[in-house]
Structure 1
Amino acid sequence: MGLDAFSLDGRVAVVTGGSRGIGEEIAVKMAESGAAVAPVARSADALEETAARIEDAGGTAHPRALDVTDIVAVEAMFDDVKSSLGPVDILVNNAGTNPFFGNPRELDIETWNKILNVNVTGAFHCAREFGRRVDVREGTGSIVNIASVGSVVALPSQAPYTTSKHALAGLTKSLAIDWAPAIRVNALAPGYVKTDFTKGVRENDQIRADLLESIPQDRFASPAEIATSAVYLSSDAAKYVTGEIHVADGGIAAQ
């Protein structure tokens, strides 16, 4: 097996939460690796930069607005991508939210439900529709769920987010068993990455210092460092890898 095993030539990928941060970088890296990419996010306007970067890399982009919590919209998105780019081979469930940081005593149930609905149920909506459409005879389907180091360790002051990411890890393992060998299902679990998602904690001097102390590599990752792992997990280079929680966290979980 040569380096061509890392190629995504001829494949079609859907990347949810593809308008910024890790999702944007994954969409671009997949295009650079040869895939036609449909980045999706709640706002079509927010996808313009992602689409432009994909096309600048010589790829084909099909941006589309999508709320992953809307079952009907998810079904329509997959049908639309198929008619525009062809059957979807790769699904990256990256859409996520985390509007709470604090003591669980202060957590309202509406915020809890929102986090679980987007991070877990939304990912399942997309995975289920992908699973219904993959040609089981080919055995080339791949799902990469963007989990978190919070899937394998507890993140302080982030009870609902940690719960949702542990659940996503469980969903990953269960689907990997149920859908083998037609579809490989893996999770990519980043640590702290330099994105808008972590801007608040990174800009708080005390929290930033505490976080860096907990990271053996003593730094935050760039989105591109996470995106390359998503390409690997989607490619034939990882064709015997399924049910894996691939941690890219600078060493946090190793302690």
Structure 2
Amino acid sequence: MSVSDFENFVVVVTGASTGLGRALAVETARRGASDVVINYARSAEEAEVTAGLVRAEGARALLVQGDVSKDEDCRTIAAAAAPLGRIDALFNNAGVTKFAQNHADLDAVSAEDFLHLYGVNVVGAFQMIRAARSLLEAAPQPGAVVNTSSIAGVAGIGSSVPYAASKGAMNTLTLSLARALAPRIRVNAVCPGFIDTPWFGKGMSEERVARLREGSAASTPLKVASTAEDVAAAAAFLASRQSRHVTGETLLVDAGSHLGFAPLGMR
């Protein structure tokens, strides 16, 4: 993919203060985006760091606070791009989880956990697409939506049952809206495995995070632990002009870890 493949793009990234969201914002700026709307829910300080990195790549950075589970906030985020007349690429990256890795412990999660995760991970993505629809349709080429899903949504693994279920729902959302919004909007999803970011280490000691990193690298066919930048490059492809004939796809970016799960042939 050309480093100018996003030339003059207007990009919106939700959940962009750290981790994969930050990497997406910087990657698109590096590839020629003119304007990057950086959404964050809580940490203005971390979002400012993202903005500085985007500006260093030559793009304008617009900071917008908002919780994507709230429809009015989604409309505010999309409205930040309205003066620019369009949105070329929307990355629905904002996400939350509940850590309950023993999926057999059904008492470790509650109905409230399901509702909270679905509110951000699924409803939030839907609301952002709805809020941005007219601006995505105003792009000179079909506007691109890239949803940050997970291998958890394909293989039923991950930090908790509600998280895996929410990402499975996001994959179905991707299919439904790819069909419904064509031909003016493309909708795809990227499904990472382990990403070596602080998000994966929440609630863990440094020692446990190091073991997780080492174990992840050892268990993947490619023998690597993916970074946010690795995943951002793949997600950027799905939003770029290079993928102009791709829609309704879920791209697994997990160093091959999905190869250990037999049911994936049915996805």
Does the CA contact (< 8 Å) of 2:14 and 2:38 recur in 1? yes
Matched with 1:87 is 86
Question: Aligned to 1:185, what secondary structure does the other structure show?
Answer: strand
Does the CA contact (< 8 Å) of 1:6 and 1:231 recur in 2? no
Quote the offset at 1:156 in angstroms.
Answer: 5.1
Question: Aligned to 1:134, what secondary structure does the other structure show?
Answer: helix
Matched with 2:259 is 254
1:238 lines up with 2:243 in the alignment: yes
The verdict on how the C-alpha distance between 1:90 and 1:101 changes in structure 2, with shifts beyond 3 A counting, is same
Between the aligned partners of 1:223 and 1:245, the Cα distance in structure 2 is 18
- Match runs of 1:13-162 below 5 Å: 13-35=11-33, 36-43=35-42, 44-83=44-83, 85-102=84-101, 103-135=105-137, 138-155=140-157, 158-162=160-164
- 1:57 partner letter: E
- 1:62 partner letter: L
The verdict on how the C-alpha distance between 1:89 and 1:246 changes in structure 2, with shifts beyond 3 A counting, is same
- Match runs of 1:219-230 below 5 Å: 219-230=224-235
Question: Aligned to 1:189, what secondary structure does the other structure show?
Answer: strand
Between the aligned partners of 1:137 and 1:222, the Cα distance in structure 2 is 30
Give me the TM-score of the superposition, normalised by structure 2: 0.87
Does the CA contact (< 8 Å) of 2:14 and 2:94 recur in 1? yes
Between the aligned partners of 1:138 and 1:177, the Cα distance in structure 2 is 20
Between the aligned partners of 1:156 and 1:12, the Cα distance in structure 2 is 33
Between the aligned partners of 2:98 and 2:201, the Cα distance in structure 1 is 12
Quote the offset at 1:6 in angstroms.
Answer: 6.0
Between the aligned partners of 2:32 and 2:4, the Cα distance in structure 1 is 10
CA RMSD of aligned residues (A): 2.1
Per-residue CA deviations over 1:144-196 (Å, capped at 9, x if unaligned) read 00101112112155211100011000000111111111111000011100111
Query: Which runs of no fewer than 5 residues in structure 2 stay unpaired?
Result: 261-267
Question: Aligned to 1:145, what secondary structure does the other structure show?
Answer: strand
Question: Aligned to 2:90, what secondary structure does the other structure show?
Answer: strand
- 1:112 partner letter: F
Question: Aligned to 1:72, what secondary structure does the other structure show?
Answer: helix
Between the aligned partners of 2:233 and 2:214, the Cα distance in structure 1 is 27
Question: Aligned to 2:247, what secondary structure does the other structure show?
Answer: coil
Between the aligned partners of 2:232 and 2:138, the Cα distance in structure 1 is 27
Quote the offset at 1:71 in angstroms.
Answer: 0.6
Per-residue CA deviations over 1:84-141 (Å, capped at 9, x if unaligned) read x442121000000112224232212222211111111111110111224333684420
Matched with 2:195 is 193
Query: Which runs of no fewer than 5 residues in structure 1 stay unpaired?
Result: none
- 2:246 partner letter: V
- 1:64 partner letter: V
Deviates further, 213-222 or 180-189: 213-222
Question: Aligned to 2:137, what secondary structure does the other structure show?
Answer: coil
Q: How many residues align?
A: 252
Quote the offset at 1:209 in angstroms.
Answer: 5.9
Does the CA contact (< 8 Å) of 2:100 and 2:108 recur in 1? no
Between the aligned partners of 1:58 and 1:25, the Cα distance in structure 2 is 15
Deviates further, 67-76 or 130-139: 130-139
Does the CA contact (< 8 Å) of 1:6 and 1:237 recur in 2? no
Quote the offset at 1:238 in angstroms.
Answer: 0.4
Between the aligned partners of 1:153 and 1:136, the Cα distance in structure 2 is 36
